[in-house]
Structure 1
């Protein structure tokens, strides 16, 4: 076997090992995605939180009790939805909290969803948002939030010590 062939094999093995390590690491990343949608048909602000079911399963055992079952127990599902709601807030320009109500939650495939909504205030020039769900359990938790329906999609990322993030809306009709 030539030195060149051996080098190619070594590089191939190194690449496969790196990809395997990345795959293992990717599963350990704690992350959630939230969409804040301004729905022109209902005049509501609709909030959809999507958590990895695997993370939600671990979270309820740490938050509530070691036998908590988010898959099959409606009480645990409601408790987790309430936990999420208590750690999420939309604030207007005067730092007043918009009254979000939880309208549902469900297990769908590999995800646990929590749904909230509120009426869109008549004059809303922007939002300040708090999204602390799971960040009290796992400091490495990353909550990504997309604001849709007010011009271009705006993406906010809650990580590390970030507690509040804001978006501004240009006068959009």
Structure 2
């Protein structure tokens, strides 16, 4: 009985400990039918809520309570930018977000593009880097037959990309 209680206590404690790594996944994929790049971010819900709370002047954000589209869109636009070679930002269209397990998927679109629309661009990806020194943002790019993965860290938040 004591062993079962100890096991329950340990499992309960582990459930309340934050995940041990800080990472996000961004997928950028060309949609030929719509002539647009689809941009999808997968971010841990607790990390996103912490970032949004900070953006919201300390007022606590709970994503399951209500929709926070405006705040999420503003935060992502501040942290993620795709710019052309002359550093002119490309216009991303916000689509929305949805939960998946312990994470949130956030969707944007880069409309009016050809498959080579990400040739010679610069990407800034500082999502959650203001909160976590060990934050890693992975970006998977896919257009036609080309695929590329880029890793963004605090010491390398802006990178030139050609796909």
TM-score of Structure 1 vs Structure 2, range by shorter chain: 0.7 to 0.9
Which of 119, 133, 137 is the matching residue for 2:127? 133
Whole-Å separation in 1 of the counterparts to 2:75 and 2:18? 25
Which of 70, 73, 81 is the matching residue for 2:63? 70
Whole-Å separation in 2 of the counterparts to 1:129 and 1:83? 16
Write the mapping of 1:97-116 to structure 2, written as runs, cut at 5 A.
97-116=89-108
Deviations 1:72-126 (A, max 9, x none): 2213x53133201221111122322111111111222221111111224456333
Assess if the C-alpha contact under 8 Å between 2:50 and 2:61 holds in 1: no
Whole-Å separation in 2 of the counterparts to 1:115 and 1:82? 13
> Which has a greater percent of helix?
1
Assess if the C-alpha contact under 8 Å between 1:78 and 1:105 holds in 2: no
Whole-Å separation in 2 of the counterparts to 1:151 and 1:26? 38
Whole-Å separation in 2 of the counterparts to 1:120 and 1:146? 20
Structure number, greater radius of gyration: 1
**Higher relative CO (CA 8 A, sep ≥ 6), structure 1 or 2?**
2
Aligned residue pair count: 144
Q: Against the structure 1 CA distance between its residues 163 and 67, is the aligned structure 2 distance closer, same or farther, given a 3 Å change threshold?
A: closer
